[in-house]
Amino acid sequence: MPSPSSFITTPFLFCFLHLHLVFAGDPFVFYDWIVSYIGASPLGVKQKVIGINGQFPGPILNATTNWNVVVNVKNDLDEPLLVTWNGVQQRKNSWQDGVSGTNCPIPAGWNWTYQFQVKDQIGSFFYFPSLNFQRAAGGFGGVIINNREVIPLPFGFPDGDTTILLSDWYTRSHKDLRKDVENGVDLGVPDGVLINGFGPYRYDDSLVPSGISYQIINVEPGKDLRCTCFHVLLVFI
Ligand SMILES: *[C@@H]1O[C@H](CO)[C@@H](O)[C@H](O)[C@H]1NC(C)=O
Ligand SMILES: *[C@@H]1O[C@H](CO)[C@@H](O)[C@H](O)[C@H]1NC(C)=O
């Protein structure tokens, strides 16, 4: 027969465990990325582009303020790689910033795990490979940092979400472009602008060749679609 005291302590123990589970720390989100060359023809010219897990552009990194983001990046390119999180503040954590001088490059065939906490920043950012002009070949994607529920947004909850990633694009390889940059040769204007890795709609037969795939985003009248936009500029980052 239990003593009366154990009837009193059990609910307290339960409360303690419950609080412990809820407040044990900020949530974590984990990503495993394999960065490799894949084939794509966004402007109708076959190219070797940099994909992440076979996707071009790379997957959206979708987190909420205060979350800890862990990204295990495997470099399957033939060159060293660093991934930087453009605009995401790395407070007292600059060695996770993925730029030359704060991080050692990930050698070809190796992996490295980035870990950082997103804090007090709500909005859209993007990541890209920061070395060797690789961003001209891809390896980039969107970063969304959502608000926590305790911090309301100044607009109603949307009926849907869509993302638009715009990027300047050349049909030459990043290695060719890099040689020109190193030799002081002007790259000229990009060959086109990609939208989510796709080329333009054939709005004019004389300007846009046939056979280019484009993306269609469905919009329903009367519904709110939240559109998160990213713009990856090539030359002036
Ligand atoms: C990101 O995650 C939030 C919350 O989990 C979700 O509402 C939103 O639809 C996601 N956005 C994208 C583009 O996946
Ligand atoms: C490399 O990846 C393996 C397998 O996912 C993981 O266990 C290991 O911790 C990673 N190493 C680094 C340095 O991130």
12, part of any domain: no
Query: 180: domain range?
Result: 24-231
7 located within any domain: no
For 54-73, the pLDDT digits (tens) are: 999 999 999 999 999 999 99
- Provide the number of structural domains found in the chain: 1
- Choosing from 66, 126, 144 the residue with most ligand 1 atoms within 8 A of its CB, the one to mutate for a pocket test is 144
Residues 86, 67: Cα–Cα separation, whole Å: 17
- Domain assignment of residue 16, yes or no: no
Per-residue pLDDT of the chain (237 residues; tens, 9 = 90+): 444 444 444 444 443 444 434 445 899 999 999 999 999 999 999 999 999 999 999 999 999 999 999 999 999 999 999 999 998 999 888 889 999 998 899 999 999 999 999 998 998 999 999 999 999 999 999 999 999 989 888 888 889 888 899 999 999 999 999 999 999 999 999 999 999 999 999 999 998 889 899 999 999 999 999 888 888 877 654
- For residue 18, being part of any structural domain is answered with no
Do the domain assignments include residue 129?
yes
Residue 236 maps to a domain: no
Res 22: pLDDT? 41
**What CATH number does the domain containing 87 carry?**
2.60.40.420
- Choosing from 31, 72, 83, 95 the residue with most ligand 2 atoms within 8 A of its CB, the one to mutate for a pocket test is 72
Which residues approach ligand 2 with their CB closer than 6 A?
72, 111-113
Residue 42 near residue 52, CB atoms below 8 Å: no
> Which protein residue has the closest C-alpha to ligand 1 atom 7?
161
For the stretch 7-33, pLDDT in tens is 444 444 443 444 434 445 899 999 999
Judge whether 237 lies within some domain. no
